[in-house]
Homo-oligomer: A and B are copies of this chain.
Amino acid sequence: VRAQHTLVRVGELPATHYTIRSGWAFRYVTLPESRRQILEFLLPGDSISLENLLCEERPAAHAVKALTALVLCVFDPSEMRELVRRPGKQQETFCTTVRNHLDTMDRRLADVGQRRASGRIAQLLLELEGRLRARGLSEDGGFEFPARQEHLADALGLSQVHVNRILVGFRKDELIAFGRGRMKILNMQALTSIALED
């Protein structure tokens, strides 16, 4: 599918189950005043709407939109649901994935609730780098980065302008380099310590 395409809408019943083969997407909700919270970035290897495997016929509480052009793997949701209902390796994997997701969401809430802007941004960059590295998509701290600063802002509960100031600050301090759709972490250690302290 093409960039900007909406894959899931709020209130919609799920018809298909996807996995991302290439490209980035994001899961989000919109609030009054057209504010938007990005709940999660979806990277190659991630499932879109895992939660639909948990219960059938339940409308989505969030939306999912393609950030870039995507190549997807398509699955039949009722078949998948079957697989996950019965004991076995697939079920184990599924449960572990859901558990990971729960832990991740907890961490995210703690970040947004407790850390200052620089800590949140550092944390998010490190998380993305880690997830991409695990899939062979980051080399030496550098990776494709199709998200705009606006997306980081919406994910972290900050304004785009402020995200920019912090990113420029990181760049001046030679913690990261970015531009032209790429991001590179230059000083992982320093960035980690910012992510932890703030």
Contacts and interface: CB of A to CB of B under 8 A. Distances in A.
Interface string A9-49: 00000000000000000000101110111010000000000
B96 A55 contact: yes
B109 A112 contact: yes
A103 B55 contact: no
A54 B54 CA distance: 12
Interface string A186-198: 0000000000110
A42 to B, nearest CB: 14
Interface string A40-83: 00000000000100110010011000000000000000000000
Interface stretch (A87-95, A129-137, A168-176, A177-185): A87-95
B197 A106 contact: no
A113 B157 contact: yes
B55 A99 contact: yes
Contact of A110 (B39, B110, B113): B39
